[in-house]
Amino acid sequence: MSINVTKEIQKKQNRMKETWNFKLMDLLKNARLGNTKELNQFLEKYSPFAAANENYSALLLLRNFQVEHWNDERRILNSHPEGENFQWGITIARSSEDISSESHIYLPNSLNYKKLKIIGNEIEIITDKKSIKTNITELFRKLKFFKLSITEQEIENAFDTLSNEQYEEPKKLEVKHQTIHIPSTGILTYNDKLKWYEGKFNTENQIIEVSVYNAEPDDFDKLLPFVDKQMSSKFYDKILLKMESKMIALKNDLWLGEDEETGEDEPPITVEDFRKRVSVTSIVFYEDCSSTIYCSDDDIFWGHTIDINVDKKGEYKDVNLAG
């Protein structure tokens, strides 16, 4: 890599660093509701790496992400790079009357990115050599990785499949009941915006939000007894034990900070302390009986959410940091 190219990359990184201080969903929501001033100022300042569509339902931000090498793994963190290791990516904020969200997808480092465009849900990624047309759904399906360790080759392979593929809207399922009763959780009420049943599970002075996606009748008849079995057995306790060694090692290898008052280095976290601080906040069950357990990190990972993926048999699959 030439000195000029290295300087250009560094210049782009430095320019976009302050974008991590903005609450993108708030900017977008305010614009959608009629207050466009702040978003327009943001777009003007960070163009051509920031773009929003005409109805302010989506905001894209092309920027660099921190890369950490841990053991034999290459991990991408949702923060500005502190050193030379980085990964290009796009932050996608979305806003509607139903829901707001912020997600990240990653792009190959081998390209020299020049500009982002978005019209409706159609996206154009412009480099110095080519222009790639895609859409939000395709980016999520092909470039959103649900694991901690991601190689550059995996990103390049996925990126090369982009073709602006169009996807059919999922079939709307019939909602037969506005409420359902699961013995272990009690009454769950249907949320039409999120397409799931939701309620609260009280256990040992802890409240866990439980959500169960609506499904085809045959699948739903299997799903509800499975949810009841899982929640009554407190399956999440076993799952937390499965993930803790990996997350404790991650904390002590990469996420130890410095005490703001004393300036002293944060001591390594112990198993006992990790167990005391991490708590389950919500669990989502999907149509195929798989689930995701969301945990509060009590600032162990500086405010990130710990997401644990569980397979359709109720067994631990993997764990990630989000947010």
> Is a pLDDT exceeding 60 seen at residue 260?
yes
pLDDT in tens, 216-238: 999 999 999 999 999 999 999 99
Give the mean pLDDT of the chain.
91
pLDDT in tens, 74-117: 888 888 888 888 999 999 999 998 778 899 999 999 999 999 99
Half-sphere exposure of 211 (CA within 13 A, CB side): 16
CA 320 – CA 294 distance, rounded (Å): 10
CA 276 – CA 296 distance, rounded (Å): 11
- CB of 305 closer than 8 Å to CB of 321: yes
> Is a pLDDT exceeding 70 seen at residue 323?
no
Q: What is the pLDDT of residue 113?
A: 95
Residues comprising the chain, all counted: 323
> Is a pLDDT exceeding 50 seen at residue 1?
no
> Is a pLDDT exceeding 90 seen at residue 172?
no
Please tell me the pTM assigned to this model: 0.73
Residue 286 backbone dihedrals phi, psi, to 5 degrees: -100, 175
Q: What is the pLDDT of residue 222?
A: 96
